[in-house]
A and B are shown apart, each in its own frame.
Chain A
Amino acid sequence: MKIRATQAIMECLLEQGVDTVFGYPGGTILNVYDELYNYRDKLHHILTSHEQGAAHAADGYARSTGKVGVCFATSGPGTTNLTTGIATAHMDSSPVVFLTCNVTEPLLGKDAFQEVDITGIAMPITKATYLVRDAATIPDVMRQAFAVAATGRPGPVLIDFLKNVTDPSVMIDYEFIPWTENRSCSSIQSLARSHGLKAPEPDAQDIAILADMIARSERPMLICGGGVVRGRAHRQFRELAEKLDAPVAITVMGGGGFPGGHPLATGMIGMHGSRASNVACDECDLLIAVGCRFSDRVALQPDTFASQAKIVHIDIDRSEIDKNVLTDHHIIGSARRVLEMLNPLLPQYSHPEWKAHILSLREGAETDEGDALTHVKILEAIRRLAPEDTIVATDVGQHQMWSIQHFHFSYPGQLLTSGGFGTMGFGLGAAIGAQLGNPDKRVIHVTGDGCFRMNCHELSTVEHYRLPIISVVFNNGTLGMVRQWQSLIYHNRYSATTLDRGPDFVKLAEAYGLRGYRVTTPEEMESAFRDALSAGCGCVLDCRLDIDEMVRPMVPGGAHITDFLIK
């Protein structure tokens, strides 16, 4: 069947089951948007205020639904505006396909208007990039891109179409192949030959070795990393933890991989890890890390990390093994598959003394009996009033760490946070994507005044699509996390961190047609949040905090994991 090249792009999206796309139009991508107009009943396009917001929204959509996110942008500044969003998705292994257009073939490389080499720019921050110069390759490239984004360790892929390829006069051969079957098409097959477009099958021998190591361990511990979340291996992981009867720490990306309220949960590990998690790591004799990459925020000092333990690394990506921390044993495979094979080999273990020792170090949720509004009061009100399955999208900094410490995430995709890239401004975009992907769930955007200012123009997207997202702004008038470092390490020299300036977030919310609330006391928090939950529209809570609240505990970068700078 002959169809327009742009039509093939849309049909290929439908093949993959895509129904929601995010983006921003412009000169070179006009042909694609013109075709999108024909498909407006099948493909719901969300127009954001800025391409970065669209990228984060597609990312948040992907993280919260487990599907591949899709994002459009035009050439030049349209594509460079995406790059922070692409890098964010890349660092956190989130599957997003970015579709951009470039100038026409004769203008390529001539510094034409809005021309930039985006496939070159995006190279180190994507799993793959494609420059489409021949329209006939569109179906193959599209199918390959989705397969690459979603399989193995997921990640972003960018396809750049030359404008002439998308000309309405260009007709190509196309045959509909549902994505479940499109692995049989030739381009995917050639890729599958060299790369095995499926997760590597774990080695049974490796798993038997681990079962044996577990049998000999007296003080085992588990780390739940982002791989458990991305691989939706939470049930298998929980079964492993319960069979092992071992303490479980989470990384930032692992939030939602293991129920935060579980009796074996010791909370976050690393720089702002709990005392229980960090001490367990230091004293255990077997550390099993599932889908975590021992980043510098977890393995602060790689040489002494879990120095008494045999370290076992389970990961889908072979290149993560021995990258940051040298391990004693590793298993390559998806978290789910490895644990499905491991769990039946394990009897029920019991480590009462070890467990009691570590769990006794847990401090429980922070409480606060005072009258002043603190981060604890805010988080406590949210936890109490919002539904249990509320999705929380955060930005980056103190409010992010407080949220992960305080909330008990219980399923993958419940916590959306930029763990690897640490992108300020990620939260609102991600919340928009999550709300569109999960219309029946409550989505809360937790942010700080610094982060919120970075992408708050997406409030117009919240308003336009009538998304009932509640943005809770931890407004302490400073870049809190940076100030905390300045207080503790830089002798109170507050260089360029004080945000003693506007805007008035309540007025800002109102200017965007949303509700704004000023919150200065715990009582106001309670009533404002209740009101926001029933408002049926986007709301902004401007919560005023003391400038010197700190995230506790804290181990400085490069220090030994139990050398707490503050407790």
Chain B
Amino acid sequence: MKQTISVLVENRAGALNRITGLFSRRAFNIESLAVGVTDDPTVSRITIIVDSGNSVVEQVEKQLNKLIEVIKVRTLEEGSYIGRELMIVKVNANSKTRQDIMTICEILGARVDDISPTSMTLELSDTPERLETFQAMLRPFSILEVARTGIIAVQKGGGKI
């Protein structure tokens, strides 16, 4: 089961290393991880997606809380948060296929970042499921490169961690 963990940490060298170290020591894989500074430049937010059982995540949450670099940890309940991921994808495109690709982009709300006689570079920011759909639709045109940021998430409503 996929779980989303949101962690506020001190923005300093080694903090990320310590946090990912906790996961690797228990031999479970991080599906995605996104880090960025918050409104307070001394604090970063890390959003981690892991695929494992509740008890494992609970244990990791407790362990994360012990790290002195960690300020707050929260496992976000399914449906209680806004989660978004950015994907940039470069796809084969020529004068024949360009219009079809544009249609897909319009339907899913993607943007064209760059264009060349043989390719198009597109960006889409959405839920991981919609990104999967977008990617699947582009596959027949032959995808050259994909880069994804991993999910960033905040809670719905007025609450904050």
User: Which residues of A lie under 8 Å from residue B67 when comparing CB positions?
Assistant: 128
Q: Which A residues are CB-close (under 8 A) to B65? A: 318-319
Q: Which residues of A contact B2 (CB under 8 A)?
A: none
Q: In the assembled complex, which residues on chain B have CB atoms less than 8 Å from the CB atom of A123?
A: 14, 17-18, 21
CB distance from B27 to the nearest CB of A (A): 13
Is the contact region of chain B dominated by helix, strand, or loop, or is it mixed?
A: helix
Give chain B residues whose Cβ lies under 8 Å from the Cβ of A323. 59
Bound Cα distance from A431 to B68, whole angstroms:
31
A124 CB–B CB distance under 8 Å: yes
- Partner pick for A119 among B14, B58, B63, B69, CB 8 A cutoff: B14
Write the B53-91 contact mask toward A (1 if CB under 8 angstroms, else 0).
001001100110111111110000000000000000000
* Given A317-B66, A319-B63, A124 contacting B71 (CB threshold 8 A): no
Q: Known: A119-B14, A123-B17, A322-B55. Is A128-B68 also a contact (CB below 8 A)?
A: yes
- In contact, A195 and B68 (Cβ under 8 angstroms): yes
Measured CB to CB, the nearest residue on chain A to B72 is A194
Contacts of B18 in A (CB 8 A): 123
Measured CB to CB, the nearest residue on chain B to A152 is B66
Given the interface pairs A318-B62, A319-B66, the reply to whether A131 lies near B14 with Cβ below 8 Å is yes
Interface contact A127-B62, CB-CB below 8 Å: no
Given contacts A131-B13, A318-B62, A319-B62, contact A191 B68 (CB under 8 A): yes
Residue of B nearest to A323 (CB): B59
**Is B68 within 8 A of A124, CB to CB?**
no
Interface size on B, residues (CB 8 A): 19
With A124-B25, A317-B66, A319-B59 already in contact, the answer to whether A129 and B14 are too (CB < 8 A) is yes
86-113 of chain B: CB within 8 A of chain A: none
Smallest Cβ distance from B108 to chain A, in angstroms? 41
Residue of A nearest to B60 (CB): A319
Residue of B nearest to A318 (CB): B62
Instruction: For the complex, give the distance between the alpha carbons of A194 and B70 in Å.
Output: 8
Q: A120 on the interface (CB 8 Å rule)?
A: yes
Q: Which residues from A are CB-within-8-Å of B25?
A: 124
| Interface residue? A148 (CB, 8 A) | yes
Identify whether the interface residues of A are mostly helix, strand, loop, or mixed. Answer: helix
| Chain A proximity mask over B19-63: 1 for CB below 8 Å, otherwise 0 | 001000100000000000000000000000000000100110011
Instruction: Chain A residues near B66: list those with CB within 8 A.
Output: 127, 317, 319
Chain B residues closer than 8 Å to A195, beta-carbon distance: 68
Q: Smallest CB-CB separation from A194: which chain B residue?
A: B71
Q: Interface 1/0s, chain A 99-133, versus B by CB < 8 A?
A: 00000000000000000000110011001110100
Q: Cβ of B68 and Cβ of A127 under 8 Å apart?
A: yes
**What's the nearest-Cβ distance from chain A to residue B46, in Å?**
15
Evaluate contact between A120 and B71: CB separation under 8 angstroms.
no
A124 to B14 alpha-carbon distance, docked (Å): 12
Nearest Cβ on chain B to A532's Cβ, whole angstroms? 44
The listed residue with most B CB atoms (<10 A of its CB), out of A148, A319, A322, A323, is A319
Report the bound CA distance from A209 to B45 in whole Å. Answer: 38
Residues of chain B lying within 8 A (CB to CB) of residue A148: 68
The residue of chain B having its C-beta at the shortest distance from the C-beta of A320 within the complex is B62
Residues of B within 8 A of A119 (CB): 14
Q: Which residues of A contact B59 (CB under 8 A)?
A: 319, 322-323
Tell me if B68 and A120 are in contact (CB < 8 A). no
Which residues of B are found within 8 Å of A191, using beta-carbon distances?
68
How far is A124 from B67 in the complex, measured between Cα atoms in Å? Answer: 11
Q: Which residue of A lies closest to B22 (CB)?
A: A124
The interface residues of chain A lying within 8 Å CB-to-CB of B62 are: 318-319, 321
Alpha-carbon distance between A148 and B65 when the two chains are bound, in angstroms: 14
What chain A residues lie within 8 Å of B63 (beta carbons)?
319
CA distance A129 to B17 in the complex (A): 12
List the B residue with the shortest CB-CB distance to A321. Answer: B62
14 contacts across the A-B interface (CB closer than 8 A): A120-B17, A123-B17, A123-B21, A124-B21, A127-B68, A128-B67, A128-B69, A129-B14, A131-B13, A131-B14, A194-B72, A318-B62, A319-B63, A319-B66
B interface list, Cβ under 8 A from A: 13-14, 17-18, 21, 25, 55, 58-59, 62-63, 65-72
- Which 10 A/B pairs are nearest by Cβ-Cβ distance? A319-B62, A194-B71, A128-B68, A319-B63, A318-B62, A123-B18, A123-B21, A124-B21, A319-B66, A148-B68
Q: A120-B14, A318-B62 known; 6 other A-B pairs, CB under 8 Å?
A: A128-B68, A128-B69, A194-B70, A319-B62, A319-B66, A322-B55
